Amino acid sequence: MHVFGLIDGNSFYCSCQRAFEPRLKHAPVVVLSNNDGCAIARTHEAKAAGIRMGDPWHLARKRPESAHVAWYSSNYALYADMSRRMYQVLSERVPAVEPYFIGEMFLDLSNPPGDLYQRCSRLRQDVLKHAKIPTCVGWGPTKTIAKLTNGLAKAHPELNGLCDLTDNAVRQHWYARTSIDEVWGIGRQTTQKLQEMGIRAVADFVTLDAKSVRQMLTVVGGRVQAELRGQSCLPLLDVSGQRKSIASTRTFGRLLTEWHEIREAIAHYASRAAEKLREDNLEAAHLSVLIQTNPHNGDPWYARNIAITIEPTSDTRDLVQHATKLGRAIWLSGYRYFKAGVILTDLRPAGTQGLMFSGRPPEKSATAMLALDVINARFGSGTLRTASTGQERTWSPRQAILSPRYTTRLEEIAIARSW
């Protein structure tokens, strides 16, 4: 029989912060979104202090209950490395691991057969000991069940972080007590549709006629139902495949009105996207740029998106030039801009297509980009960059309370006193 597991870091971002700061062990910890906007990860102590998901920092920090909360800007360099550690610990112990999200991984637990409770308990211990991340593990005959099971392990502390739904009778017990909106793949609209029909618990949903589920919720909904019934439809996915797009999109550190500022930001995003392309040895043949105002602050709404097909390239200079030209075409004065982005699609392996119109000899471009990447790898990202990305960069995201990048920068590693 197939067994899928899902292992998920408990408040993953907060756990990464805790791994290097013992004083946070029992403290309420909150990690903020890009730009220190709102709460995106909370420890259970922070939840108990009344911090909700999406709470804006500038309001939440002033509440008296928040007095002891440790707030952090999101430190994605740290979280990515901790996620890498988690994946590696699991890969050494499980035949196949699919990183579904940064702190969340599907496991193939079908082989070897044996006591899964003991095995998953061991995995949890090892991830905690090696990668410093506390987790919950759920498992069952399908990915959808594994995901649901993990949610149960999280929500019910009496399960000690482990939950097994391989047994149908046990599943029925939980299905009767679990709301349909907890199911992976059932969104808000579907939930509403089902609730209007009087379907609230997972148990109600799995007993519906399969054909009418497919009619109502398309093949996708039908698959969710089949998976909940124990028929595996979704295999473990392989991430080693080539990426389909590269996006570099950010909200600005403050609202921007002037074109020259927005141009700098767009040039910067294009440069980052170009670096990611070269990391994977790819070129892009399609580029789009977006800019928009803030949908939440009452400003007039303006959002535009523009795209062109380009000669395949990964040269920062080409991509910056294309992106800023496109950005200029959609920028209008009089708006306060909140966000911009550069998205590269139609990716292909570098050098597969001869260029017809390029003004830049490919060998020279490759040499220049190699030099750029080597310098930035050694002296830090952005050391050498195009002048168009600006000097002051006052649009950079706010990261007022960023912790050190403990595992990726030598000058920022943790300090321990001896005595």
Partner 1 sequence: MAYRGDRTTGFASPAADNIEDPIDLMAAALDLRQPSRYPIRVEGEALMGRGIKHGDILVVDSAVAPHTGIVVVATVGSEMRVCKLTQREESDG
Distance (Å, whole) CA 190 – CA 215: 13
CB-based contact 313:283 (threshold 8 Å): yes
State yes or no: residue 177 binds partner 1 (CB under 8 A): no
Among 169, 356, 387, 415, binds partner 1 (CB under 8 A): 415
Judged by CB, which is closer to partner 1: 189, or 240?
A: 240
- Residue 361 — left, alpha, or beta (φ > 0 → left; ψ -120 to 50 → alpha)? beta
Choose among 308, 290, 292, 309: nearest CA to 300.
292
Stretch that binds partner 1, among 124-132, 282-290, 307-315, 349-357 (CB under 8 A): 124-132
Judged by CB, which is closer to partner 1: 271, or 407?
A: 407
Among 14, 31, 78, 86, binds partner 1 (CB under 8 A): 86
CB-based contact 273:248 (threshold 8 Å): yes
Q: Interface residues for partner 1 in 19-38 (CB under 8 A)? A: 22-23, 25
* Closest separation in Å from C-beta 410 to partner 1: 7
Among 240, 333, 391, 418, binds partner 1 (CB under 8 A): 418
- How distant, in Å, are the alpha carbons of 15, 69, 128, 240, 270 from that of 72? 12, 10, 22, 32, 27
Choose among 391, 374, 355: nearest CA to 275.
374
Q: Interface residues for partner 1 in 382-411 (CB under 8 A)? A: 406-407, 410
* Closest separation in Å from C-beta 16 to partner 1: 12
* Closest separation in Å from C-beta 80 to partner 1: 13
Judged by CB, which is closer to partner 1: 86, or 290?
A: 86
State yes or no: residue 378 binds partner 1 (CB under 8 A): no
State yes or no: residue 84 binds partner 1 (CB under 8 A): yes
CB-based contact 283:350 (threshold 8 Å): yes
Q: Which amino acid is at 186?
A: I
| Structural tokens at position 50 | 């009344």
**Roughly how many angstroms between the first and final C-alpha of the chain, as a whole number?**
55
What DSSP assignment string belongs to 105-139?
Answer: EEEE--SS-S-HHHHHHHHHHHHHHHH---EEEEE
* Closest separation in Å from C-beta 129 to partner 1: 6
Judged by CB, which is closer to partner 1: 91, or 399?
A: 91
State yes or no: residue 89 binds partner 1 (CB under 8 A): yes
* Closest separation in Å from C-beta 18 to partner 1: 11
State yes or no: residue 64 binds partner 1 (CB under 8 A): no
Q: Could you list the residues that contact partner 1 (CB under 8 A)?
A: 22-23, 25, 84-86, 88-89, 129-132, 406-407, 410, 413-419
